[in-house]
Amino acid sequence: SCCWGGPPMTMEELEYWLQMFYPHCFLQDPETQGKQAREDLPEEQEPSPVSDFDNTYNYICMSAQTQQKYTLHTVQIIAELSDITSEAIHRLNVGHYTLDVKVTQLLDRVSRLDGTLGEVEETMQQISLLTKENRKEIGRLEGCQKGRRVGYKCYLVYRTYETYAGAAQKCLEWGGRMAMPRDRKEQEALADYVKAFFHPGNWPVWLGINDLRSEGLYLFEDNTRVTYFQWRKHFLSSQPDGGKRENCVAMASDDGDWWDNYCDRNMSYLCEFDA
C-alpha cells in the first residue's frame, strides 16, 4: 500500500516525503481531480483519499509498467528541455557578446567625445580670452579716438552709471584704468574735456581717487599718493566734507572741482588709456 495516514504535513513536506518513499505516487491537483483520464492507471489501484490529512487532494500511485512509461516520457521531455536550454544559453551568449562589443564601442565614443569636449572647452577659453583682449584693444583705441588725449594718456567719459568699484572694474575691462589726473596740466585738460562733454549739464563723474584705506589719505587707483588736489572750495561747502562716510572722489563736470562722495553712489565715470 502507498496510503498515508500520519500527522499533518505541509504540501512541500508531503511531496518530498512521497518522492522519497513512494516514488510511484504523486499528488493530484484538486482542479483535475475526478476529471483526469484513468486509462493509464491499472484498475486495481484506484486513487484513494488522504483521509487523515486533507481530503481535497488525492495522491495516485502507478504500477511499475506505467511508471516506466512516465519515466521514459519524462526523459524525453528533459532531453527536449536540454536542447531548448542549450539553444537559449547560446543565444544569451551571443547577446552578451554583442552587448559587450557595443559597450566597448560606446565607452570608446564617450572617451573620444570627452577628448573633443576638452578641446572645445580649451577653444572657448581661448576665444573668451581673445574676446577680453579684443575688448581691451577696442577700449584703448576708443579711448584715444573718442576721448581726449593729454600727453601720454587719453581720457574717456562713460555715461553709464556705476558705483566706484563698478567703474574701476569697467575701466579694467576696457583695457584702461580709472582716470588719475596727476598734476595741474592733466587736471585742467580733464576738466575742459568733461565740461565740453556734458555741456550745458552739470554731472559728477568718478575719478580714480579714494581715501578708503585711511581717512584723509587720498590714493589713486594704483595706490600712489595724490599730490595735486582740486577740491571744491566755497564758503558754503568746502570739500572734502564727508569724513569716513564719503571716501570716493568725483569731478563736477561744470568746473572740474573734486567732491568726496559715497562710494556706492551710481554715476558716470572716467577711464584713462595709454596713448
Residues forming contacts to Ca ion in the complex (CB under 5 A) are 211, 247
CB-based contact 32:24 (threshold 8 Å): no
Q: How far is the CB of 220 from Ca ion (least distance, A)?
A: 15
Output the DSSP codes for 133-186.
HHHHHHHHHHHHHHSEEETTEEEEEEEEEE-HHHHHHHHHHTTSEE----SHHH
Q: How far is the CB of 260 from Ca ion (least distance, A)?
A: 5
| Of residues 1 and 237, the one with the C-beta less far from Ca ion | 237
Length of the chain: 275
Among candidate residues 97, 18, 109, the one with its CA nearest the CA of residue 60: 18
Residues contacting 77, CB < 8 A, separation 6+: none
Residue placing its CB nearer to Ca ion in the complex, 143 or 208? 208
Smallest gap from residue 210 Cβ to Ca ion (A): 8
Q: Which is nearer to Ca ion, 188 or 257 (CB)?
A: 257
For 256, the enclosing helix (H) or strand (E) is: none
CB 121 → Ca ion: shortest distance, Å?
45
Task: Compute the least distance from the CB of residue 188 to Ca ion, in Å.
Answer: 25
Choose among 117, 103, 184, 159: nearest CA to 271: 159
- Grid cell digits, residue 72: 521514459
CB nearer Ca ion, residue 47 or residue 242: 242
Residue placing its CB nearer to Ca ion in the complex, 158 or 231: 231
Q: How far is the CB of 212 from Ca ion (least distance, A)?
A: 8
Alpha-helix residue ranges (DSSP H) falling in 8-63: 11-21
Cell 587736471 locates to 187
Q: Which residues lie closer than 8 Å to 138 by C-beta, 6 or more apart?
A: 175
Nearer to Ca ion, 10 or 223 (CB): 223
Q: Which residue is nearest to Ca ion (CB)?
A: 247
Q: How far is the CB of 263 from Ca ion (least distance, A)?
A: 9
Nearer to Ca ion, 56 or 223 (CB): 223
Burial level of 230, CB count in 10 A (0-12/13-18/19+)? Answer: buried
List the beta bridge partners of residue 225. 219
